[in-house]
Amino acid sequence: MPGSKIIIIGAGVMGQGLAEAVATAGLDVMLIDRTTKLAEKGIRGVADSIDREIGRWGLTTSDKKAILSRIHPSSDLTQVEDAEIVLEAIPEKLSEKQALFAKLDTLCENNTLLITNSGTISISEIASVTQRPEKIIGMHFLNPVTRVPLVEIVKGLKTNDETFDQAVAFAEQLDKKWITVNEYPGYVTTRIIVPLLNEAMHVLMEGVASAEDIDDAMKLGFGFNVGPLALADMMGLDVVMNWMVNLLGELSEHKYNPCPVLRKLVRAGHLGVKTRRGFFNYDEEGNRISSNNNNNTELEVVS
């Protein structure tokens, strides 16, 4: 796998994290989006992420230069024609993912490893639009990709052993701990975390406690490194709501019905860290800003 041509499609928050993780592992990676300008914006996001790590003494300026030199922006999807690994990181919508994989099926060589980073959508449904369902697999990385050591390797109903072994080798090259997941809506991590996040939002909405106190309770009471509301902000509230909507549609269980306050925040464009406002407020570097109004600021957003 050393020397493999690796392509990530989608230069949003997750695509940026994946590109940084691949480049940090010493591999070259092409970051593709609809326009080269969007791909370049994604690389600037990677640079900002590395700057925060430099501020924590986690990386050096030399590391930054080396990592960024391995990430190449593009808007040319035909670059996948000779790729060994293609990793999709576009929005969590089945129709969009299927449209992309149908194109990849016509462009990629037969032995290309095609990976979706979906957190809730059926691998088999994505693969169904291709002539190679055995070569489609899910690798669900968690954000921030460079700091979370886990990846879920998700088998579709027709994913073969060779494809699974290739995904395992890729995960190990990125120094990730992997678990095997048999296809089921929400896999392991998303299915378990979503009801927790949703319930924390309901506790806030019902005025039981402030956002700060809810997160402190879960951190101090149960050993969480990050409270559920801050975690939702980190993931992106739009992403979290898409997960809930997908799981509600798949499983028809009320616990996945997005809390009204989440819907309200997303409608208002307050999506968490990436927009600097969600359940908490953040500065340009993603650090939380203290607020004297944490008890109810989330409930007063206007659309």
Rounded to an integer, the average pLDDT of 117-138 is 96
pLDDT 10s digits, 148-157: 999 999 999 9
Domain 6-182, CATH among 3.40.50.720, 3.30.1300.10, 2.60.120.10, 1.20.1440.230: 3.40.50.720
Structure tokens at 235: 């993931």
Q: Is the pTM of this model over 0.85?
A: yes
Domain boundaries, the chain: 6-182, 193-298
193-298, what's its fold? N-(1-d-carboxylethyl)-l-norvaline Dehydrogenase; domain 2 (1.10.1040)
Which residues, in sequence order, are CB contacts of 37 under 8 Å at separation 6+? none
Which residues, in sequence order, are CB contacts of 285 under 8 Å at separation 6+? 48, 51, 52, 55
How sure is the predictor about 295, in pLDDT bands with cuts at 50, 70 and 90?
very low
Residue 160 is given by DSSP the state -
Q: Rounded CA gap, 3 and 185, in Å?
A: 34
Q: Which residue has the tokens 């109810």?
A: 296
Q: Rounded CA gap, 94 and 113, in Å?
A: 20
Q: Rounded mean pLDDT of the chain?
A: 93
Q: Rounded CA gap, 175 and 118, in Å?
A: 20
Amino acid at 118: S
Let me know: does 279 contact 197? Beta carbons within 8 Å.
no
pLDDT value of residue 3: 55
Let me know: does 146 contact 17? Beta carbons within 8 Å.
yes
Q: Rounded CA gap, 91 and 274, in Å?
A: 15
pLDDT 10s digits, 32-74: 999 999 999 999 999 999 998 898 888 899 999 999 999 999 9
